Chain A
Amino acid sequence: MTTNEIISPENLVYTKTKVMNDTPMHYCPGCSHGVVHKLIAEIIEEMDFQEKTIAIAPVGCAVFAYKYLDIDWQQAAHGRAPALATAIKRLLPDRLVFTYQGDGDLAAIGTAETIHAANRGENIAIIFINNGIYGMTGGQMAPTTLVGMKSATTPNGRTVGLNGNPLDITKLLAQLDGTCYVTRQSVHTVASVRKTKKAIRQAFENSMDGKGTSVVEVVSTCNSGWKLSPAASNDWMVENMFPAYPLGDLKNE
Chain B
Amino acid sequence: MEEVRLMKGNEAIAHAAIRCGCDGYFGYPITPQSEIMETLMELEPWNTTGMVVLQAESETSSINMVYGGAGCGKKSMTSSSSPGISLMQEGLSYIACAELPCLIVNVMRGGPGLGTIQPSQADYYQSVKGGGHGDYKLITLAPGSVQEMADHTVMAFDLAFKYLTPVLILADGIIGQMMEKVVLPPFQPRMTEAEIREKYPWATLGKPANRKPNVITSLSLQAEEMETINLRLQSKYRKIEENEVLLEEFSCEDAEYLIIAFGITARICQKTVEMARAEGIKVGLLRPITLFPFPTKEISHYADKVKGMLTVEMSAGQMVDDVRLAVNGRIPVEFYGRMGGIVPSPDEVLKALKDKIVK
Question: Which residues on B sit within 8 Å (CB–CB) of A87?
Answer: 24, 26, 52, 54, 64-69, 76
Complex interface: stretch among A67-75, A160-168, A214-222:
A67-75
Given contacts A66-B213, A84-B65, A86-B65, contact A95 B218 (CB under 8 A): no
Pair count A-B, CB < 8 A: 124
Within B45-99, the residues touching A (CB, 8 Å) are 52, 54, 56-58, 60-62, 64-69, 71-72, 74, 76, 90-91, 94
Is there an interface contact between B214 and A84, defined as CB atoms closer than 8 Å? Answer: no
B29-47 vs A, Cβ < 8 Å mask (1 yes, 0 no) = 0000000000000000000
**Cβ-based interface call for A53 (8 A):** yes
> Measured between C-beta atoms, what is the minimum distance from A96 to chain B in Å?
8
Given contacts A75-B219, A87-B69, contact A54 B24 (CB under 8 A): no
Is there an interface contact between B64 and A91, defined as CB atoms closer than 8 Å? Answer: no
Within B210-253, the residues touching A (CB, 8 Å) are 213-219
**Cβ-based interface call for B114 (8 A):** no
CA distance A116 to B65 in the complex (A): 13
Residues on A facing B (Cβ under 8 Å)? 50-54, 56-57, 63, 66, 69-77, 80, 83-88, 90-92, 95, 112-113, 116
Closest residue of B by beta carbon distance from A55: B204
CA distance A108 to B145 in the complex (A): 43
Residues on B facing A (Cβ under 8 Å)? 23-24, 26, 52, 54, 56-58, 60-62, 64-69, 71-72, 74, 76, 90-91, 94, 204-209, 213-219
Question: Which residues on B sit within 8 Å (CB–CB) of A90?
Answer: 24, 52, 54
Is there an interface contact between B206 and A63, defined as CB atoms closer than 8 Å? Answer: no
Is there an interface contact between B74 and A75, defined as CB atoms closer than 8 Å? Answer: no
CA distance A86 to B53 in the complex (A): 12
Pick the contact of B216 from A73, A85, A95 — CB < 8 Å?
Answer: A73
CA distance A85 to B26 in the complex (A): 13
Is there an interface contact between B216 and A83, defined as CB atoms closer than 8 Å? Answer: no
Given contacts A72-B205, A91-B69, contact A86 B215 (CB under 8 A): no
Pick the contact of A112 from B23, B57, B91, B218 — CB < 8 Å?
Answer: B57
CA distance A32 to B69 in the complex (A): 31
Given contacts A75-B218, A91-B52, A112-B57, contact A84 B67 (CB under 8 A): yes
CA distance A202 to B344 in the complex (A): 62
CA distance A54 to B193 in the complex (A): 15
Given contacts A91-B23, A113-B57, contact A53 B206 (CB under 8 A): yes
Given contacts A72-B205, A77-B91, A87-B68, contact A113 B215 (CB under 8 A): no
Pick the contact of A54 from B57, B206, B219 — CB < 8 Å?
Answer: B206
Question: Which residues on B sit within 8 Å (CB–CB) of A71?
Answer: 206-207, 213
Question: Which residues on A sit within 8 Å (CB–CB) of B52?
Answer: 87, 90-91
Is there an interface contact between B216 and A75, defined as CB atoms closer than 8 Å? Answer: yes
CA distance A74 to B208 in the complex (A): 16
Question: Which residues on A sit within 8 Å (CB–CB) of B74?
Answer: 91
> Which interface residue of B66, B69, B71 has the most chain A CB atoms within 10 A?
B71
Question: Which residues on A sit within 8 Å (CB–CB) of B60?
Answer: 80, 83, 112-113
Given contacts A83-B61, A88-B71, contact A95 B94 (CB under 8 A): no
CA distance A235 to B90 in the complex (A): 40
30 contacts across the A-B interface (CB closer than 8 A)? A50-B207, A50-B209, A51-B208, A53-B207, A57-B217, A69-B213, A70-B213, A71-B206, A73-B204, A73-B214, A73-B216, A73-B217, A74-B68, A76-B64, A83-B61, A83-B62, A83-B64, A83-B65, A84-B71, A86-B61, A86-B65, A86-B68, A87-B54, A87-B64, A87-B66, A87-B76, A90-B24, A91-B72, A91-B74, A113-B61
Question: Which residues on B sit within 8 Å (CB–CB) of A85?
Answer: 68
Given contacts A51-B206, A70-B207, A116-B61, contact A83 B94 (CB under 8 A): no
> Measured between C-beta atoms, what is the minimum distance from B104 to chain A in Å?
14
Question: Which residues on B sit within 8 Å (CB–CB) of A86?
Answer: 54, 61, 65, 68
Is there an interface contact between B205 and A92, defined as CB atoms closer than 8 Å? Answer: yes
CA distance A113 to B52 in the complex (A): 19
Is there an interface contact between B68 and A73, defined as CB atoms closer than 8 Å? Answer: no
Given contacts A72-B214, A116-B61, contact A88 B69 (CB under 8 A): yes
Is there an interface contact between B72 and A80, defined as CB atoms closer than 8 Å? Answer: no
Given contacts A77-B90, A77-B91, contact A95 B206 (CB under 8 A): yes
Closest residue of A by beta carbon distance from B46: A90
Question: Which residues on B sit within 8 Å (CB–CB) of A53?
Answer: 206-207
Q: A73-B204, A116-B57 are in contact. List 20 more A-B contacts (CB 8 A).
A: A50-B209, A53-B206, A54-B204, A70-B213, A72-B205, A72-B207, A72-B214, A73-B214, A75-B215, A77-B90, A86-B54, A86-B68, A87-B65, A90-B54, A91-B68, A91-B72, A91-B76, A112-B57, A112-B61, A116-B61
Pick the contact of B64 from A69, A72, A95, A113 — CB < 8 Å?
Answer: A113
Closest residue of A by beta carbon distance from B218: A75
Question: Which residues on B sit within 8 Å (CB–CB) of A92?
Answer: 72, 205-206
Given contacts A70-B207, A112-B60, contact A88 B68 (CB under 8 A): yes
CA distance A50 to B216 in the complex (A): 17
Question: Which residues on B sit within 8 Å (CB–CB) of A63?
Answer: 219
10 A-B pairs closest in CB distance: A84-B68, A83-B64, A87-B68, A87-B65, A75-B217, A116-B57, A72-B204, A80-B64, A74-B216, A83-B61
Is there an interface contact between A77 and B94, defined as CB atoms closer than 8 Å? Answer: yes
Is there an interface contact between A88 and B72, defined as CB atoms closer than 8 Å? Answer: yes
CA distance A56 to B76 in the complex (A): 18
Given contacts A70-B213, A87-B65, contact A112 B58 (CB under 8 A): yes
